[in-house]
Amino acid sequence: MSISGGPSPVLVLEGVTVRRSSALLLDGVTCRVPAGACTMLVGPSGAGKSTLLRLLNRFEEPTAGAVSYQGRPLPAWDVLALRREVALVAQRPVVLTDRVLDELRIGRPDLDEDAAAALLGRLGLPSGAVGRATSGLSGGEAQRVCLARALAVEPHVLLVDEPTSALDAHATKAVERVIGELVADGMTVVVVSHDAAQVRRIADQVLVLEDGRLIASGTADRIASLQEGV
Amino acid sequence: MNAAVPGWAGVLASVSLVALTVVVAWRRRLRLGREITFAAVRAGLQLAAVGAILLVVFKHTGLVGAFGWLAAMTLIAGQVAGRRARGLPGATVTATTAVAVGTAATLGVLLVLEVIEARPRVVIPAGGMVVSGAMQFTAVVLIRLRDEARTARLQVEARLALGLSAADAFAPHLRSALRTALIPVIDSTKTVGLISLPGAMTGLILAGVDPFTAIRYQIVVMYMLLAASALAVLTAARLTERVLFDEAHRLRPLPDQSPI
């Protein structure tokens, strides 16, 4: 998907700086996250990718600058409503209940069993997984259950921190396929990734961070050509 | 003098028990002799000072002095419980408020219902037991809540990320801390008299009161301690929850200090 002249931005960062104690985590970042596209945040460890992701659902607050969602500054939104619209899936899968179905019902208590099974199936998990104990889940399965738990809330924007870092090739493919389907259905997805091949496979827009600064942005092909030219 | 109450000679004789403890500690090379001696001397001096002040309060200051005494005990208890939860912002204020709420509510009910007499001789010992119990359990709940906030950050944030409020996201951890804090007082209420004779009852029996009268007092004391501890712990938990989260339902980072 072309970014220039593409869909209007759903999330906008204007000169965002995040400073914690003496550490500068983000330094004057200005960027736009287009609606209905997959934006990927890349860069070395400590570049500020996860901080940027956490800004978007107000887990972090900018020290300077502003973040807006659908044209309104984030503080103007009811924060609980915002987090249901802009869901975050953390890098480390954390299961909170004893049963997979209960896990999917944390943010959506009225979710019925069939819908839960369908959600899990979409992520490449067998339909029987809905009745399983969470204690028996592998790391990759737990990651996908956490993704399903966030999708159960039916967010408009999905923020995912390294969703496939603990997955095998089969599970990675399933998660990438789901991200592609979600974007095709109009969802905005922001993904932190270290995997250059994955960026080429699923990114519509790439934001490259280094030392808290946005050093490049554009389509995956443009970023790849820039890096090859270095 | 009542034969059941030891005289000063008896008190001096009991020092031999401290000496025995010091000898045992010395022979086992525990290096605790000085500390045991200091603790024993300090306890004796503290109690002598408290006895002298109580004598003045009972004779001259009436209820105002008694409640002043309780207020001072509450402040000290808040300091002690708050220090236990080092690293938790506002722990001393929270602990003091919690002990004050537990003490005021429990003593207030007993006084209004005329279960206990509104006299310094009654209010101070009864209040002292309440403050002490409330302090102990408040410290436990504050320590647990601090540790939960440190160790369960990922779990809490996973719930917050799904749009749950701070109260809902922290509820499982709050419940766990409350249970940990309250189970000991519930257990001691269940086993009262079976494992050891409780303090108030022991004191009354030693003072010559018949056991069946003594148990009436003890029952009131146990219920008083149960209610005071529960109220103090719930107050501490509620106040701590407010401190742990900011207005945007974010779990505040806690300074990483090792628990004492």
Domain extent at residue A149: 9-229
CATH of the domain at A51: 3.40.50.300
Q: Quick one: closest CA in A to B251, which residue?
A: A59
Average pLDDT for B131-135: 93
Measured distance CA(B134)–CA(B179) in Å, rounded: 15
CA–CA min distance A46, chain B (Å) = 19
Q: Is the pLDDT of residue A172 over 90?
A: no
Q: What distance in Å separates residue B163's CA from the closest CA in chain A?
A: 5
Domains and CATH numbers, chain B: 62-244 (1.20.1640)
> Touching check for B40 and chain A: CB below 8 Å?
no
Measure Cα distances from B222 to A144, B124, B130, B218, B233 in Å.
51, 16, 10, 6, 16
pLDDT for A3 equals 44
Residue of A nearest to B247 (CA): A79
pLDDT tens, B77-132? 999 999 989 889 999 999 999 999 999 999 999 999 999 999 998 899 899 999 99
Query: Do the domain assignments include residue A4?
Result: no
Write down the pLDDT at residue B256: 66
Q: What are phi and psi of A22, to 5 degrees?
A: -100, -5
In this predicted structure, the answer to whether residue B260 has a pLDDT above a threshold of 50 is no
By percentage, how much of chain A surpasses pLDDT 90?
A: 64
Give the model confidence (pLDDT) of A131-154 as tens digits: 999 999 988 889 889 999 999 999
Which among A83, A92, A150 has CB closest to B160?
A: A83
| pLDDT value, residue B1 | 45
Nearest Cβ partner for B162 among A58, A92, A149: A149
Between A5 and B140, name the one with better pLDDT: B140
**Span A72-92, average pLDDT:** 95
The answer to whether the beta carbons of residues A160 and A89 sit under 8 Å apart is yes
Assigned token pair, A12 = 């906008």
Maximal C-alpha separation, chain A: 52
With respect to residue A1, please indicate whether it lies within any of the assigned structural domains.
no
Number of CB pairs, chain A paired with chain B, less than 8 A apart: 52
Average pLDDT over residues B228-246: 95
> In the numeric block, which tokens belong to residue B153?
């950050």
Three-state SS for A165?
A: coil
- Strand pairing report for A213-218 and A157-161: unpaired
DSSP string, chain A: ---TT-SPEEEEEEEEEEEETTEEEEEEEEEEEETTSEEEEE-STTSSHHHHHHHTTTSS--SEEEEEETTEEGGGS-HHHHHHHEEEE-SS----SSBHHHHHTSS-TT--HHHHHHHHHHTT--GGGGGSBGGG--HHHHHHHHHHHHHHT--SEEEEESTTTT--HHHHHHHHHHHHHHHHTT-EEEEE---HHHHHHH-SEEEEEETTEEEEEE-HHHHHHHHHH-
pLDDT of A6: 56
pLDDT value of position A220: 80
pLDDT band at B2 (very low <50, low <70, confident <90, very high): low
Instruction: Report the domain count for chain A.
Output: 1
Interchain pair B164, A106: CB under 8 A? yes
Residue of A87, A90, A106 with shortest CB distance to B154:
A90
The answer to the question of residue A208 being in a domain is: yes
Contact B158/A90, CB-based, under 8 Å? Answer: yes
3-state secondary structure of B30: coil
Given a contact cutoff of 8 angstroms between Cβ atoms, the answer to whether A197 and A138 are in contact is no
Lowest model confidence (mean pLDDT) among A106-115, B132-141, B149-158, B196-205: B196-205
* B113 contact A CB<8A: no
**B188, pLDDT greater than 80:** yes
* Chain B residues 152-171 within an 8 A CB cutoff of chain A: 154-155, 157-165
Computed over every residue of chain B, the mean pLDDT equals: 90
Flag whether pLDDT at B259 surpasses 50.
no
Q: Measured in whole angstroms, how far is the alpha carbon of residue B63 from the centre of its chain?
A: 22
d(CA B183, CA B1): 41
pLDDT of residue A7: 62
**Residue of B154, B163, B172 lying closest to A83 (CB–CB):** B163
CA dist., res. B16 & res. B18, Å (int): 5
Of the pLDDT bands very low, low, confident and very high (cuts 50, 70, 90), residue A178 is: confident
Nearest residue to A50 via CA among A146, A157, A161, A147:
A161
The ipTM is 0.91
Q: Measured between CA atoms, how close is B162 to chain A, in angstroms?
A: 5
Distance from CA of B91 to the nearest CA of A (A): 23
Cβ-nearest to B154 among A61, A88, A94: A94
Give the least confident one: A202-206, A219-223, B167-171, B192-196.
Answer: B192-196
Specify the pLDDT at position A5: 45
Q: Which residue has the tokens 């934006």?
A: A39
Q: Is residue A2 part of a domain?
A: no
| pLDDT on residue A33 | 95
Instruction: Tell whether the model's pLDDT for residue B184 goes beyond 60.
Output: yes
Question: Does A158 reside within a domain?
Answer: yes
Q: What is the mean pLDDT of residues A99-119?
A: 94
Statement: residue B195 has pLDDT above 90:
no
Q: Which residue from B minimizes the CA distance to A94?
A: B155
Contacts of A160 in chain B (CB under 8 A): none
Confidence (pLDDT) at B187: 87
Interface contact B255, partner A, CB < 8 A: no
pLDDT at B3: 52
Lowest mean pLDDT among A40-54, B36-50, B97-111, B197-211: B197-211
Which residues in chain B have their CB less than 8 angstroms from residue A79's CB?
248-249
The pLDDT, as a whole number, for residue A127 is 74
Chain A interface residues (partner B, CB cutoff 8 A): 57-59, 61, 75, 79-81, 83-84, 87-90, 92, 94, 96, 106-107, 146, 149-150, 153
Provide mean pLDDT across the span A6-23. 88
Chain position carrying tokens 């339909």: A127
pLDDT at B64 over 50: yes
Least confident segment among A174-188, B93-107, B150-164: A174-188
Which of A61, A79, A94 lies nearest to residue B249, judging by beta carbons?
A79
pLDDT at A228 over 70: no
